[in-house]
Structure 1
Amino acid sequence: MTSNSSALSGIRVIDMSRVFAAPVGAQILGDLGADVIKIERPGIGDDGRGYGFSSVPGKDGIETRHSSFFTVSNRNKRSITLNHAKPEGQEILRKLVATADVLIENYKVGDLKRFGLDYDSLSTINPRLIYCSVTGFGQTGPMAALPGYDGLFQATGGMMAVTGIPDGQPGAGPLKTGPSLVDYMTGHNTALAIMGALMYRHRTGEGQYIDIALLDSSVAMVSHIMQDYLISGEAPPRLGNGGNGGGPADLIHCKDGIVYLTAGTDEHYRRLTVLMNQPELNDDPRFNTNFKRGKTHRAELMDIINTWSRQFPVAEMIARLDEAGIPSARYNTLPDVWKEPQVQHRKLRARTPHAYAAAGYVDLIASPLAQMSKSPATIRSAPPMLGEHTREVLAELGYDDARITELQNLKVI
C-alpha cells in the first residue's frame, strides 16, 4: 500500500515491459508511490527473471526466479500473468487500461497493434492514458524494427569510443562499461518523460504517446565529451581512468591499494605540488595549464605523482589529501562499498522482507530519490513472484473466483 505522502499515490501503471530498461522506469514510478501492475506471460514471465549470474535463494525448495536483473528492477510491483494473444486476455487488459494512468511496453515496433493494444486503440478507451513505448531505435526510421541491447548502444552511441585504455598503451582499445548504463539511463528517461506527461495531463486533461529509444539515451549520455566534439570537430581520445575535465585526475597507486585523485583546478594542483614537496611543478611549462596536465603531458605528470604516492598507505594518503583540501576517494571493491561510513549513513543497503526467500528478506539498493523531504521514494515490497497478484488484481476488476479459475484453465492467466 502507498500513503498519501507518496508523490504518485493514486497513479496506476500497467507495466508490460521486460528485461531491464523499461522495468527500471516502471520501478521508479513504483518507488514514488504508483500502483504498478506488471503483466507477465503465463508460466514464463519476464525474460529478465533468467538474466544475470545470481538468483535469490527460495525457502523450502521454492525457485524464486529472482535473478539479479529482475530483483534490481521490479520491486514495488504486483505481478499478474496474462496471455494477451487470447481475446480473453485482451479483454482483461482493456479493463485494466480503463482504470490506469500509464502503460509502459517494450515490444517490437507494431507488435501490440496486431492485438488492438496500441496507443491509438487504447486511447479510445481512456483518453487520459499516457502510453510509453521503449525500444532500441525508436518507432520510425530505417533501424526501427531491429532489436536492441545495452552493449550494442554503448558501441553505436559513442560511449565505447571514449571509454577504454588510451592508444599507444598496452591493451589499448575501447571498453564497455561494467553495468548496463544505457539501459539504466533509458529507464530513468522513461520515468522522467512519464512524469512530465502526468504534469501536462494535470494541466490539460490530455494523455499522450511517448516514444523512448535506447539509441537516443546512448548518444545523450556521452554528454560533455560529445559536446566537445560538436564544438571542436575533433574526437577526444580515450583517457582510461583519467578525468576528462582537466588534470591531474586519475587513479594513483599507494603502498597497499589505490586512490582516485581529482586535482583538476589550478588551485587544487598548486596544493598538490606543495603537498608533494615539489612546488616547482606548479610552474613547470609542461604542466602549467589544465589542458597540458589533462591531455598533452598527462602521462608524464601521472608518472611523477605515482612515484610520490607509492610511499604511503591508502589511509595516510587519503588523510593527507583531505587535510590539503584536495578531492580524493578510496578505490573500493564491491564488498568495500558497503563498509563505507557514508554509504551506511545514507542507508543505501535496504533490507526488505521477502516471504519466499530462504533468508526471509532480500537486500536491495535504496532509491537515489529516498531523501525527498515531503514525498520520498520508498521500498514497500520485494519483487513479486510470477503471477503472485493475479487473483487479487482480477478481483479488483470484478472477476469472481469461478471466472478466474476458468481463465486459468483456458491458459489465459
Structure 2
Amino acid sequence: MTAAPAVGPLSGIKVLDLTAMLAGPFTTMLLTDLGADVIKVEPKTGDRTRGLGPYRDGDDPDQALGGYFQSVNRGKRSIVLDLKSDAGSAKFRELVQVADVVVENFSAGVMERMGLGYETLAELNPRLVYAALRGFGDARSGKSPYETWPAFDIVAQAMGGFAGITGPLDGTPLKSGPGIGDIFPGALLALGVVAAVRHAEHTGEGQFVDVAMYDAVLAMCERIVYQHSYLGIVPRPMGNGHPLLAPFDIMQTRDGWMAVAAPSDNHWRILAETMNRHDLVDDPRFVNNAARLANIVEVREILGAWLADQTTSAVVEVLGGRVPIGPVNDAADIFNDEHVRLREMLVEVEQPGSDTPVTIAGSPIKFSSTPALVRGRGPKLGEDDVDTVLAEWSAAHENVLNSPNTKGDGSDG
C-alpha cells in the first residue's frame, strides 16, 4: 500500500510505531490523521488486535481487516521486523537514524532488554522524540510502586478515579462505555509528541515523552482533586447529575432519553416558561443555581415529570438552540445525523477482499489550510517493504539536513 498524500500539519514527520492494542495505536492514529508518515513495526504475528474482528458477513478474515484494527490503524503503513533478532534490530536502528519519532507501549524494560531503550536510540539520533505509554508510566519520569503491573483501560478507569465517581446514586462504580482509559492517554501522548517535535525542530534536541494511563485518567478527573482539597470530601457516583450545577442531567422522555443542562438563570427561565411553569422563575427554591442545587430532588421531579410526557423530538423542537439539550443518540441515530455527515465524522475506507467499503470514525480536529483526515485504510501485515521505507526516509532526511532553514545548532530562534 502506498502512503496517502501527506498534506496535514505534520507532513514530513516520520514515525516508527511499535504500539499494539488501543492506547498506543490511538496515539499514532492521531499523528497519521495529522499528516505524519507512520510506519507500524509489527512482529510476524502482527498486532494482537488484527485477529479480534469484528468482520462483516461475507468478509474473508484472511484478507479483510477487523473493525478494531481498522479503526485505529487507518492510514498507516506496516513492516515486519523481529526486533529480538540481530538482523531485525540492526534494520530498526537504521530506521531510527532517519526517523523523527518512536512510539511504544511495551511493558517497562522490554525495549531495554532488546538493546533499544531511549538512551541507546538517542545516541543514534539526538533529535529523536521517543514516546512511551504504559499503565503506570516510566521510571525516568518517576518510579511508580505499580511500575511492573500490567494495565488495561478498565484498570486505569478504576485507579485514576473515573469509576469511583461514575455510576448510579447508590454508589456502585461503573466504567465508561468507550475505552477512555486508553483513548485519553493516547490523545495526551500525541499532544506530547507534537510539542516535543516542535522543540526538536527549533533546538535539534530530542527527548523522552512519558504518559501513564493512571495519570491521564486522574488528570481527566481533576474535579475530584479540588473537591477533596477545598472541601475535604470524597466524591462518589452521582448518577447523571453534577455536584455543582443544576439542572444538569440525563432524563427519560416518553420515547427515549434526553440531556438537559440549564444551570444558568436565563436557561432556567426559558425551561420554566416552556414547561408553562412561570412560577418557577422567581421561586426562592429555584431562583439561582445554588438554590436549585440545594433543592435538586424537587428540580428533578418537576423536570422529570414534564419530560416523561414529551417525545424526544418534541423537546428538541421546542428547546433546541435555546437551552443546552440533546438526545441520547445510539449508533443508528449518529449514522442518520446531518451534523455527522457535514462534519465528515463518518468515513468510508477500503476493505481488502471486498468491493464494499466499511465505515470508521473520522478526525475531529479541523484545520482551514492543512486538513486532518483519514488517509486510507489500515495496512495489511507487512504490506510495505522495509528497505523501500528506509530509502524514502533517508532521502527525506538528507533533504532536511541540507535545507537552509534547518536549525540543528541548539538555537531557539
Q: TM-score range by the shorter chain?
A: 0.7 to 0.9
Matches of 1:320 and 1:223, distance apart in 2: 35
Equivalent residue, structure 2, for 1:331: 328
* CA-CA distance at 1:213 after TM superposition: 0.8
State the match for 1:21 in structure 2.
23
Deviations 1:106-129 (A, max 9, x none): 111111112211111111111111
What secondary structure is seen at the aligned counterpart in 2 of 1:363?
A: strand
Alpha carbons of structure 1 residues 102 and 306: separation in structure 2 relative to 1, 3 Å: same
Greater mean deviation of Cα atoms: 194-203 or 65-74? 65-74
Cα distance change, pair 163–292 in 1 and its aligned pair in 2 (3 A): farther
Structure 2 counterpart of 1:160, from 163, 168, 183? 163
5+ long unaligned stretches in structure 2: 393-413
Q: In the aligned structure 1, how far is the partner of 2:165 from the partner of 2:153?
A: 16
Q: CA deviation at 1:70?
A: 1.6
Specify the code of the residue in structure 1 equivalent to 2:40.
K
- Partner AA of 2:298 in structure 1: E
- 1:58 CA drift (Å): 7.0
The 3 A distance-change label for structure 1 pair 7 and 177 is same
Q: Deviations along 1:52-89, whole A, 9 cap, x unmatched? A: x6235675x34246333322211111111111111011
Report deviation, 1:310.
2.4
Alignment deviations for residues 95-146 of structure 1 (CA, whole Å, 9 cap, x no partner): 1111100000111111111221111111111111111111110112211111
CA distance in 2, matches of 1:252, 1:240: 11
- Matches of 2:223 and 2:355, distance apart in 1: 44
Q: Structure 1 residue 299: deviation in Å?
A: 2.5
Identity between Structure 1 and Structure 2 (%): 34
Task: Provide the residue aligned with 1:87 in structure 2.
Answer: 86
Q: Secondary structure at the match of 2:72?
A: coil
Contact 1:55-1:67 within 8 A present in 2 as well: yes
For residue 326 of structure 1, report the CA deviation from its aligned partner.
1.6
Residue 51 of structure 2: aligned partner: 50
- CA 1:201–1:58: 2 relative to 1, 3 Å: farther
- The match for 1:320 is 318
Q: Is the 8 A contact 2:55 2:61 kept in 1?
A: no
Q: Does 1:368 align with 2:361?
A: no
Greater alpha carbon shift after TM alignment, 222-231 vs 310-319: 222-231
What amino acid does structure 2 have at the position aligned with 1:13?
A: V
Match of 2:278 in 1: 279
Match runs of 1:138-177 below 5 Å? 138-139=137-138, 140-167=143-170, 172-177=171-176
TM-score, normalised on structure 2?
Answer: 0.88
- Does residue 1:231 correspond to 2:234, yes or no? no
Is contact 1:55–1:64 with CA below 8 Å preserved after alignment? Answer: no
Deviation at 1:353, TM superposition (A): 2.5
The alignment yields a C-alpha RMSD, in angstroms, of 2.1
Partner residue, 2:354: 358
Structure 1 distance, partners of 2:94, 2:57, is: 35
| Residue 183 to residue 192, structure 1, CA distance change in 2 (3 Å) | same
Closer, same or farther in 2 for the Cα pair 1:298/1:237, shift >3 Å? farther
Q: Is the 8 A contact 1:57 1:64 kept in 2?
A: no
